[in-house]
Structure 1
């Protein structure tokens, strides 16, 4: 049985697109970057910790497989995370405006005695945004709970000039990589 260790509605939606049956695990895993920890290492660690915490919840379930994932927006080596409030979101969007940044998504699958991971790296260029553009986007509320203060699959897509990488990875679950991992674990 496949379990998704995530509270993200986008990950539920994306995993559902693969046509696999799964159950949700509602876990609370600390997402704190360690001092000097590289952005990619941080994302991989958090995805692994989510999957591991999920496996502890279903340890009694025979053949349980748990999927954990983490997505972060990275600009100049700084991990943006989720904005604390609207002012923080506005600051993030101003900094992303007119620039390219990296979106890193790690996917970890674990079962009893087995672990595998895939990492998706995408480059996203945001068009220059005026203060009015930022204010309109913030008013939508779409930024809330989103790494980097935006949802590529929503209104913000109109501000994306270029994407190199995985669109679904930027959303939160790179489907191609996830499908490959699921096959390795015999999940169809």
Structure 2
């Protein structure tokens, strides 16, 4: 039950565990009446990616989500563990978080005027094993941006924000100005596809309605 004493949507007596330190993912779950315990998984994402460098971006996202869920599920055997990860790909090439403002600007220059994909994967573990997994994809088309516009965005957003996501933007903030067209659910873009996740929870009897 939430700290304010109000009824919780979560039906099981076991905890709902989010294998992530992402504030955005936690807030998404809380916004729909769920109160997850956050237990971030410590995995080496680049090593996992190197195991099969030719993997399609959606498959890579699933593998990362599964690794996170599995890592936490081993010590949370009595909980339901949600692992999630997101991969940004442009023409099949996977992007990683920029190391600084200059690299963020370079990312934006490559994405400008083109359509890229955000593959958001979720893995669900119960009793120490993966019981479900899925991936949802959003298509985002960025406006044509010249160097001056990119520099202005990077300066306004600030180093902390442009280096905190692989695309160097947060769609829920200043990043929305960068785009001309978006196809996909908002929660998928934020990294935790809520509609398919809630549907699966409901099918398993984990939600009160």
The TM tier, using the shorter chain, reads over 0.9
Residue in structure 2 matched with residue 50 of structure 1 by the alignment: 68
| Aligned 1:16-165 pairs, distance under 5 A | 16-32=30-46, 33=49, 34-59=52-77, 62=78, 64-112=79-127, 113-139=129-155, 140-141=157-158, 142-165=161-184
Q: Give CA deviations for 1:124-168 in whole Å, capped at 9, x if unaligned.
A: 000111212211221222222202211111101012111111121
Conservation of the 8 A alpha-carbon contact between 2:123 and 2:130: no
Q: Which runs of 4+ in 1 moved over 4 A?
A: none
State the TM-score, normalized to the length of structure 1.
Answer: 0.92
Runs of 5+ unmatched residues, structure 2 = 1-14
Q: Whole-Å Cα distance in 2 between the matches of residues 167 and 96 of structure 1?
A: 19
Which of 130, 151, 174 is the equivalent residue of 2:193? 174
Q: Give CA deviations for 1:13-55 in whole Å, capped at 9, x if unaligned.
A: 1111121121000221111223212211111000011111111
Deviation at 1:3, TM superposition (A): 0.2
* Number of corresponding residues: 185
Conservation of the 8 A alpha-carbon contact between 1:29 and 1:49: yes
Q: Whole-Å Cα distance in 2 between the matches of residues 105 and 136 of structure 1?
A: 29
SS of residue paired to 1:147: coil
Higher radius of gyration, 1 or 2 = 2
Runs of 5+ unmatched residues, structure 1 = none
**How large is the RMSD of aligned CA atoms in angstroms?**
1.4
Deviation at 1:85, TM superposition (A): 1.8
SS of residue paired to 2:85: strand
SS of residue paired to 2:172: coil
